[in-house]
Amino acid sequence: MSGKPAASAPVRMFFREAIARAAREAMQADPRVIIIGQDVGAFGGSYKEFAGLYDAFGPARVRDTPIAENAMIGLAVGAAAAGLRPLVSITYMDFLMLGLDPLVNYGVKARFKTGGQLSVPLIVKTTAGAKGQGVAHSQCIEAWMMSVPGLQVFAPSTPADAYLMLKAAFLAEGPVLFVDHKRLFPVAGDVPPSDAVADVGRAAILRAGDDLTLVAHSYMCRVALAAADRLGQSGIRAEVIDLRCLSPLDIATVETSVARTGRLITIEEGQKICGVGAEIIAQLSCLPLSFHCERIAALPAPISSNPVLEAAALPDPDRVVAAARALMTKPLHKEYP
């Protein structure tokens, strides 16, 4: 696996394989890169997203840990401050909560506290999203993390971005929270060659349209695209924007789209209150822009492991289509009020 020549053309692969490829290339390129977490070693990662790395790089660089998120992130912060480039894998984003003290109070602040003398080039990779595992293994708390100054938050929706953005995270100066999603691992897509570079910090327009703007990130981009397809069948042209990166947030791309459409729906799997959509709408409200908007998010309840209740709590294309139709009935005010 490590003896393969660098790919020179896009290669189709599963989302988890794109992550493994980015990690493998980073480990080949830089001996300071290490991977730590539960089941990252011989098992190859909880979602097989680190498959092959243990065999290629050995137990010193691909290290299994006990289930102790606070200690895992704590030692990774220390290792990064001391000169390594660790990726620490937190299998369920729910348990990132246990590691927030070392990440937020030490990892992210080290650069500020030392006047830039100490940097903490750390990746915390974690998997968000609901897929039948109940109240404490389903949450999307990435919006909390957007308000931590100095923490970058990446949330790709495609195998190509998983590869490019994880590669970029391995080169970043400070901590990066890399959020993937349980329902993205089965997705396949074309991944660019190894000399491609991510346009980190820029949102992507996944589908162009003039009637309304749908903004999402991670798995919800697929919900947005499915809704846009259905809206398109009835003549409503929805633009779909994939934020890709929540911090820094590319509000300019959203603004340009909403200036044209005058209608915005934000879609996220986390909570509505103080969510990604709330932040986007708040930022747009401070601009000379007139628009109608709606936020779609998980219902304000814990996510049940009962599949009927889980589905009822989560945003789906039906909810997006209904919200879009309602917004389309509102007249546009092109003038700034």
Partner 1 sequence: MIYALTVPGPIEDAEEVRVLEWHCAVDDAVNPGDLVVELETHKALVEVRAAQAGYLRRIVCADGGWCAIGAPLAILSDTLDEMPGEQADDLPMLLVEFEVC
Q: Which residues bind partner 1 (CB under 8 A)?
A: 12, 14-16, 47-48, 185-188
When the beta carbons of 51 and 297 are compared against partner 1, the nearer one is: 51
Strand 176-181 to 152-154 pairing: parallel
* Whole-number Å distance between alpha carbons of 73 and 38: 12
Strands (E), the chain: 11-14, 33-37, 62-64, 85-92, 123-128, 152-154, 176-181, 188-191, 204-207, 212-216, 238-242, 245-247, 263-271, 292-298
When the beta carbons of 14 and 154 are compared against partner 1, the nearer one is: 14
When the beta carbons of 116 and 132 are compared against partner 1, the nearer one is: 132
When the beta carbons of 24 and 222 are compared against partner 1, the nearer one is: 222
* Whole-number Å distance between alpha carbons of 104 and 83: 19
Q: How far is the CB of 13 from partner 1 (least distance, A)?
A: 8
When the beta carbons of 52 and 175 are compared against partner 1, the nearer one is: 52
The answer to whether the beta carbons of residues 281 and 326 sit under 8 Å apart is no
Find, among 106, 78, 105, 74, the residue nearest to 90 by Cα: 74
Residue 137 designated active-site: yes
The burial class, CB within 10 Å (0-12 / 13-18 / 19+), for 40 is: buried
Q: How far is the CB of 129 from partner 1 (least distance, A)?
A: 13
Would the CA dihedral through 12, 18, 20, 26 be positive or negative? Answer: positive
When the beta carbons of 31 and 186 are compared against partner 1, the nearer one is: 186
The burial class, CB within 10 Å (0-12 / 13-18 / 19+), for 6 is: exposed
When the beta carbons of 19 and 84 are compared against partner 1, the nearer one is: 19
Q: How far is the CB of 45 from partner 1 (least distance, A)?
A: 11
* Whole-number Å distance between alpha carbons of 205 and 281: 18
Terminus-to-terminus CA distance in the chain, angstroms?
Answer: 60
Q: How far is the CB of 20 from partner 1 (least distance, A)?
A: 12
Q: How far is the CB of 314 from partner 1 (least distance, A)?
A: 16
| CA 82 from centre of chain | 27
- Give the list of residues 6+ apart from residue 38 with CB closer than 8 angstroms, or none: 46, 64, 65, 66, 67, 89, 91
Structure-token match 């480990």, residue found:
27
The answer to whether the beta carbons of residues 62 and 87 sit under 8 Å apart is no
Catalytic residue among 137, 181, 217, 292: 137
Residue 122 in 3-state DSSP?
coil
Q: How far is the CB of 47 from partner 1 (least distance, A)?
A: 8
Crossing angle, helix 251-261 and helix 276-285, to 10 degrees? 70
Q: How far is the CB of 138 from partner 1 (least distance, A)?
A: 16
Please give the positions annotated as active site: 137
